[in-house]
Amino acid sequence: MTIVNNFEKLDAWKEAHKLVLQIYKITRKFPSIEKFRLVDQICRSASSVAANIVEGSSRQHKKEFLQYLYLSKGSLEETKYHLLLARDLGYITTKDYNSFIDQGNLVGKLTSGLIKYLRS
């Protein structure tokens, strides 16, 4: 018996998925030299945020789900760093950076809430 039988119902996943879509869209505008450097890194870390929520939700035990949620939070922090780097390199505007960070903070809060719920 899985803890959550449909990850698409989880607000943390919904918001993480929005973040991934936004990042994929904006990284299309990055210089081609970054395709196998920063673009690859930022897309992988961002998609890992949502993917870990999905994988954890399919696990049999709360403890396993919690482990994946913590991995998701780690990937979120990695993504935030990549966004900072992209801003500092001039690939995204400060406005876009702030928007991404706001979305990331929302994902983090929702994931923390899910962790708190599962731990209770």
**What 3-state DSSP class applies to 91?**
coil
pLDDT tens-digit readout, 30-87: 999 999 999 999 999 999 999 999 999 998 899 999 999 999 999 999 999 999 999 9
Contact between 52 and 72 under an 8 Å Cβ cutoff? The reply is yes
**End-to-end Cα distance, the chain:** 19
**Is domain 9-119 annotated with CATH 3.40.50.1220?**
no
Domain ranges of the chain: 9-119
The rounded distance, in Å, linking the Cα atoms of 14 and 8 is 7
**How far is the CA of 52 from the CAs of 34, 55, 80, 95, 99, in angstroms?**
25, 5, 16, 28, 23
What is the model's pTM?
0.92
